[in-house]
């Protein structure tokens, strides 16, 4: 099964190049999505060496959104490759949105969200998903945490060993907003501000995790909790 991404109801030149690369021929079928739940089966009519062509839609449907949404609010990693890995894996898992959040101890202040968007599209196609996470522009921690929460809001930190496990704190079938801090953790002031703004402090377990690992672990914990 080959899945391609359409914007404004048409394939971009890059997508036509990809279609040629997988050597589809006229009469072959493939699938299209806009990353918002649209799923279409298409038949290739022709393609030329200029990476242009035509197709016809055989069948199409709008898939329902997931029963719950995960909004990942994550501090950018010092190594950009690690943040890109996080976006790729979070897309495969099926998160609804990813927002880079600059914290007091963040090791990176600038994030190329345009590149993260391209990576999310690629990961969506490779994992045969029909919903793509929204990649938001970077926010300062104060701005992000002071916004009204979207469903249950969690902040995962390491400063208190008595914090409850995320797994035991999840209410099924809701939206979840999860704040993941930098390698140096959240500051005390950030944790205090979070608790004052509808956040529940949680633990991801006994292990001390890197930012990108913690982000993926949190998303998987939410998924597992839906099945219990």
What is the pLDDT at residue 51? Answer: 67
CA distance 69 to 196: 23
pLDDT tens, position by position, 113-143 = 999 999 999 999 999 999 999 999 999 999 9
Model pTM score: 0.91
Q: Is residue 35 helix, strand or coil?
A: coil
> To the nearest whole number, what is the mean pLDDT of the chain?
92
CA distance 168 to 197: 21
Half-sphere exposure of 47 (CA within 13 A, CB side): 21
Minimal CA–CA distance to 121: which of 111, 135, 112, 132? 132
What is the pLDDT at residue 1? Answer: 84
Q: Is residue 13 helix, strand or coil?
A: helix
CA distance 166 to 218: 8
- Average pLDDT for 198-222: 93
Domains of the chain with bracketed CATH: 3-62 (2.40.240.20), 69-227 (3.40.1280.10)
pLDDT tens, position by position, 12-63 = 888 888 888 888 889 999 999 999 999 999 999 988 777 678 889 999 999 9
pLDDT tens, position by position, 53-100 = 888 999 999 999 999 999 999 999 988 999 999 999 999 999 999 999
């Amino acid at each position: 099964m080959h899945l391609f991404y359409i914007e404004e109801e048409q394939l971009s030149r890059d997508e036509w190049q990809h279609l040629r690369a997988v050597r589809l021929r006229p009469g072959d079928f493939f699938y299209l999505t806009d990353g918002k739940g649209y799923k279409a089966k298409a038949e290739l009519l022709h393609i030329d060496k200029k990476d242009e062509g035509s197709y016809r839609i055989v069948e199409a449907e709008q898939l329902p959104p997931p029963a719950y949404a995960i909004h990942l609010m994550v501090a950018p990693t010092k190594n950009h490759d690690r943040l890109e890995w996080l976006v790729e894996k979070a897309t495969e898992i099926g998160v609804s949105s990813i927002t880079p959040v600059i914290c007091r101890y963040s090791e990176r202040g600038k994030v190329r969200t345009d590149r993260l968007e391209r990576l999310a599209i690629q990961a969506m196609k490779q994992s045969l998903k029909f919903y793509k996470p929204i990649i938001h522009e970077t926010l300062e921690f104060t701005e992000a945490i002071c916004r009204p929460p979207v469903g249950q809001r969690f902040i995962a930190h390491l400063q208190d060993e008595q914090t409850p496990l995320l797994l035991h704190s999840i209410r099924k079938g809701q939206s979840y907003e999860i704040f993941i801090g930098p390698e140096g953790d959240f500051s005390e002031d950030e944790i205090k501000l979070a608790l004052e703004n509808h956040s529940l402090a949680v633990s991801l377990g006994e292990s001390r995790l890197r930012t990108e690992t913690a982000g993926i672990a949190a998303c998987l914990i939410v998924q597992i909790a839906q099945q219990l």
